[in-house]
Amino acid sequence: MIKLITDENMNKYLELAQIYEKEFAHLTGARTDENGLYPVSTPIDAIHIGYYYCENKLEIGFMVINIESEPYDVCEFFILKEHRKRGSGQKLAFEVFDLHNVEWSVKQLYDAKQANSFWIRVIGEYTGNAFSQQIYEDEKWGKVHMQTFSR
């Protein structure tokens, strides 16, 4: 089950985002601030909306998308480690894709091989393999894998 990230439940996003940012810090180069906190890469705002994935009423992950223009871009995607490899990530992605009848782009850091494998499998299943993939030079992240598809 998914639910929208709002001001009222933002604290859980910020908590999960710390775990997410720490997990990828070795690839992104992110460093903690004087309070021991990582900067959150994508804030929830007018053009970035987010969804929690919930199991047993607990938020176990999130997906943040940029809705400024098409293709909508998956900016952040995270499932807690202990809930991975059980279909939770695929369910989250499918539910969010189903909510928005748009063109999509999904990017992974070039060296994030598990993330790339996950997205190729999930997008392939979602689209019947009707997607394209390329290596792309992203302004912020450098070399990334990028998949594009239409819902």
Whether the per-residue pLDDT at 124 is higher than 80: the answer is yes
Q: Which domains does the chain have, with CATH numbers?
A: 2-150 (3.40.630.30)
Over residues 26-40, the pLDDT tens digits come to 677 678 778 877 888
Over residues 11-26, the pLDDT tens digits come to 999 999 988 788 877 6
pTM above 0.75, yes or no: yes
What is the greatest pairwise CA distance in the chain? 47
Could you give the CA distance from residue 58 to residue 44 in angstroms, rounded to a whole number? 20
How does the average pLDDT of the chain come out, rounded? 92
Decide: helix, strand or coil at residue 15. helix
- What is the pLDDT, as a whole number, of residue 75? 93
Name the DSSP class of 29: -
